[in-house]
Amino acid sequence: MDISIIFKIAAVGILISVLNQVLDRAGREEQAMLTTLAGLVVVLFWVIHYISDLFTEVQQLFQL
């Protein structure tokens, strides 16, 4: 279980918030919203693997 995922998520989050600010200032609120959503979907794919690992491990460990 590598810890780099935390830093990856934080990096994507910071990038998204910066992009959001820039696009807001440029008057394109829709694109800002879309970039936020895109960032969320990317991070969701990463996180889903971790969640499925957790639940399969718990099931296997506790013989659920």
The contact set with other proteins (CB under 8 A) reads 1, 3, 5-7, 9-10, 12-14, 16-17, 20, 36, 40, 43-44, 47, 50-51, 53-55, 57-59, 61-64
Q: Which is nearer to other proteins, 27 or 63 (CB)?
A: 63
Question: DSSP H helical segments within 1-64, as ranges?
Answer: 4-25, 29-62
Q: Which of 12, 5, 6, 21 is nearest to 41 (CA)?
A: 12
Token pair recorded at residue 12: 């994507």
CB 11, min distance to other proteins, A: 9
Token pair recorded at residue 41: 């979907």
CB 29, min distance to other proteins, A: 15
